Amino acid sequence: MRAKTIYGLMVMSALFWAGAFIAAKLSAPYITPFTLTFLRFSIATVILYFVLKYHFKTDLVITKKDIPSFLFTGIVGMFGYHVLFFIAMKHTTAINSSLIAASNPILTTIFSIIILKDSPSYKRILGILLSFTGVVLTITNGNIGNLFSLKFNLGDIIMLLAVLMWGIYSVFSKRIMPKYNPFLITFYSFLICTIFIIPLVILENPFGYFKDVPFFSIAAVIYMAIFPTVIGYLVQQISIKEIGPSKTSIFVNLVPIFSIILSILILNETISWVKLSFALLIISGVYITQIN
pLDDT given for residue 290 in this prediction: 65
The residue type at 23: A
Q: Are 130 and 285 in contact (CB under 8 A)?
A: yes
What is the band of 1 on the pLDDT scale with cuts at 50, 70, 90? low
Residue 80 carries which side chain, given as an amino acid letter? G
Distance CA 54, CA 238 (A): 17
Number of other CB atoms surrounding residue 253 within 10 Å? 18
Burial 149-165 (b: 16+ CB within 10 A, else e): eeeebebbbbbbbbbbb
pLDDT of residue 31: 96
Residues 6+ apart with CB under 8 A from 120: 109, 113, 128
pLDDT class of 276 with cuts at 50, 70, 90: confident
Q: How would residue 7 be classed by pLDDT, with cut points 50, 70 and 90?
A: confident
- Report the 3 state secondary structure along the chain: CCHHHHHHHHHHHHHHHHHHHHHHHHHCCCCCHHHHHHHHHHHHHHHHHHHHHHHCCCCCCCCHHHHHHHHHHHHHHHHHHHHHHHHHCCCCCHHHHHHHHCCHHHHHHHHHHHHCCCCCCHHHHHHHHHHHHHHHHHHCCCCCCHHHHCCCCHHHHHHHHHHHHHHHHHHHHHHHCCCCCHHHHHHHHHHHHHHHHHHHHHHHCHHHCHHHCCHHHHHHHHHHHHHHHHHHHHHHHHHHHHHCHHHHHHHHHHHHHHHHHHHHHHCCCCCCHHHHHHHHHHHHHHHHHHCC
> Does the pLDDT value for residue 149 go beyond 80?
no
Query: 43 lies in which domain range?
Result: 3-290
Cβ 28 vs Cβ 91: under 8 Å:
no
pLDDT at 236: 86
Count the domains in the chain. Answer: 1
- Return the pLDDT at 194: 97
* Averaged confidence pLDDT in the chain: 88
Tell me the C-alpha to C-alpha distance, in Å, between residue 191 and each of 23, 37, 60, 75, 236: 22, 12, 12, 10, 19
Per the CB < 8 A criterion, the answer to whether 264 and 85 are in contact is no
Residue 230 pLDDT grade (very low, low, confident, very high; cuts 50, 70, 90)? very high
Of the candidates 103, 141, 152, the one whose C-alpha atom is nearest the C-alpha of residue 272 is 141
Question: Alpha-carbon distance 79 to 72, whole Å?
Answer: 10
Number of C-beta neighbours around residue 6 at 10 A? 20
Query: How would residue 58 be classed by pLDDT, with cut points 50, 70 and 90?
Result: confident
Say how far apart CA 138 and CA 279 lie, in whole Å: 8
User: How large is the average pLDDT for residues 55-61?
Assistant: 88
